[in-house]
Amino acid sequence: MMNSPFHIVLIEPEIPPNTGNIARLCGATGTVLHLVGKLGFSLDDKYLKRAGLDYWEVIDVRYWNSLEELEKAFPSGRWWYTSKKSERSHVEADFQAGDFIVFGKETAGLPEGLLNRNPEHCIRIPIFSPRVRSLNLSTAAGIVLYEALRQTGRLG
């Protein structure tokens, strides 16, 4: 279906170094990076560029006005929505090459309505300390993407 093994989707990312680090992750793994909606920074941001280092030319970055626009462009895509509110762990997902892994903005996560419409495709990364609310966005993207790569035999 797609040339890329996976797609990382960031909905309205707010922190430039997170997006830059995720861009580098995507470049290292051949994953397409989709930036959706209003970004909380300029694409010329020095922190964004610094985090991506000199890898920007090997990163396939695509820009979308809305998640709906992206979903219409890939009507047969499989979508995984990350949320700390999900009951299902990311290791319980049955990832397939070409899947889209969707992350919300750092301060709010994904919209509740989106999660409610897709409960069978919502996943979370377990956090064992009740004192820690969430993981850093770029850390979370790396954890989920590498589990997807592991499940599909891309790490061997």
Tell whether 41 is covered by a domain.
yes
Residue 64 domain boundaries = 6-151
Q: What is the pLDDT of residue 57?
A: 79
Query: How many domains would you assign to the chain?
Result: 1
Global pTM value: 0.92
pLDDT in tens, 107-137: 999 999 999 999 999 999 999 999 999 999 9
Is 156 within the bounds of a domain? no
Segment 57-101, tens digit of pLDDT: 788 999 999 999 999 999 999 999 999 999 999 999 999 999 999
Q: Which residues, listed in sequence order, are joined to residue 89 by a DSSP beta bridge?
A: 124
Q: What is the DSSP string of the chain?
A: --SSSEEEEEES---HHHHHHHHHHHHHHT-EEEEES--SS-TT-HHHHHHHTT-GGG--EEEES-HHHHHHHSTT--EEEE-TT-SSBGGGS---TTEEEEE-BTTTBS-HHHHHH-GGGEEB-----TT-----HHHHHHHHHHHHHHHTTTT-
Residue 102 covered by a domain? yes
User: For residue 147, what is the domain's CATH number?
Assistant: 3.40.1280.10
C-alpha 139, offset from chain centre: 10
The verdict on residue 1 lying in a domain is no
30 and 5 Cβ atoms separated by less than 8 Å: yes
